[in-house]
Amino acid sequence: MFRVIFLFVVLGLGLFAGTQYAGQQGYVLISVANKTIEMSVTTLVIFVIATLAALFALEFFVKKALNASSATWNWFSVRKMRRSRRYTNEGIIKLLEGDFKQAEKKVTRWANHHDMPLLCYLVASEAAQGMGNHEQRDRYLELASQQEHSQLAVELTRAKQQIRDANYNQAFDTLSTLKANHPNNAMVLNLLKQVYIELKLWQPLLDLLPKLVKQGIVAKEEQEPLTKRAQCGLLNDVAEQNGSEGLVSHWNTLPRKVKADTHLIECFAKQLISRGADHEAFTLIKETLSKHPSSTLYSLLPELKLADDHPVIIFLEGTLRKDAHNAEAHSAIARFLLRSGKWPEAQQHLEKALSVRSSVSDYGYLSDALEKQNLTKAAHEVSKKALTLIKDPVA
């Protein structure tokens, strides 16, 4: 537009000058080397205007030609990109359907023309993983890692694949590096939780749990059982590394609220028993049951290897005097009686326990007690009840 206006201005000035100086055209002499050109001023003005017009017209047509060429190139590029997107979408569907071979073929066919090749290579890597082709899987991950801003997506994909292959140590290394760079990424934290559980890294799991709950990765109702599991696992680790003395020292360092949990007390007692600290385990169980009767703790008493079982039996008899319907206490004392060969007394306690609640193990003990008394038919009936309970636990 500016050039057109400029031409009209020059043309107007020329016309104005032509009317003013009509008949006085002047004289112009141009000498170049051995050549000379002569013309009037009017002719020179017209020549300049015509030259400028020609140059402007040439520029216009050149630009039009270049734009047409660029538009044609862009049309082909967009067409290729659209086709690549379509193949990638189809490949993702095939991946979800489990057709890994077709998924790999579709997403890699036009990956170079896709506006996000990273997506193509990650999908191809998952497809290769599905086919069990680890070499191809890693090659696609390498291609994906060469794309911009790919580190998080690539390493998360790698970690998920390592977890699916049960390569938890490799996944731990991958995720630990990611956590250093992305400490609040929900996916990184959730995968770390899985790896910690599989590798039984209980202390790191306990340290991570508050952040998992805060970010909503672990629900509050899931936090308590997960914490108990980690605490029990930690007790086992301490017992293996430091023995019963180290286990007791670790227990004493725990918060009072933690030590009041009967599930953890049971874990602690089991570890003491497994390490030969049966006397300490009996003291712990007796003190806990005096405050908080627990069925699981009663079942641990017959597992104690004490020099004299009499104190345990006295304790159980005292419990039954207070509560004659304590099924677990009946079951525990019956096991001591079976050990001593007192079959009728053991039978009585087991029958009382079973009258309160059903128990496959108690049916088994009762069947043994009846067999020892040559009550074969009754023992057979009890065994049938135990089998029925195993097949139908709700019954």
d(CA 364, CA 366): 5
The string of pLDDT tens digits covering residues 183-200 is: 999 999 999 999 999 999
* pLDDT mean over 327-347: 93
pTM above 0.75, yes or no: no
Residues with Cβ within 8 Å of residue 303, at least 6 apart in sequence: 273
CATH code of the domain made up of 233-307: 1.25.40
Residue pointed to by tokens 């009754």: 378
- Rounded to a whole number of angstroms, the distance between the first and last alpha carbons of the chain is 94
Q: Check if the beta carbon of residue 354 is closer than 8 Å to that of residue 342.
A: no
Task: Report the C-alpha gap between 305 and 314 in whole angstroms.
Answer: 16
The residue among 291 and 170 whose pLDDT is bigger is 170
Q: Class of the 308-395 domain?
A: mainly alpha
CA distance 288 to 249: 18
- Tokens describing residue 303: 């597992």
Whether the domain at 233-307 and the domain at 308-395 fall into the same CATH topology = yes
Q: Which fold has domain 81-148?
A: 1.25.40
Alpha-carbon span 250 to 260, nearest angstrom: 15
- Sketch the domain layout of the chain as residue ranges: 81-148, 164-217, 233-307, 308-395
Answer for the pair 107, 80: CB distance below 8 angstroms, yes or no: no
User: What are 48-81's pLDDT values in tens digits?
Assistant: 777 777 777 777 777 776 665 554 544 445 566 6
DSSP string across 41-107: HHHHHHHHHHHHHHHHHHHHHHHHHHHHHHHHHHHHHHHHHHHHHHHHHHHHHHHHHT-HHHHHHHH
pLDDT in tens, 219-231: 888 998 999 999 9
Compute the mean pLDDT over every residue in the chain, rounded to the nearest whole number: 85
Closest residue by Cα to residue 330 from 301, 288, 291: 301
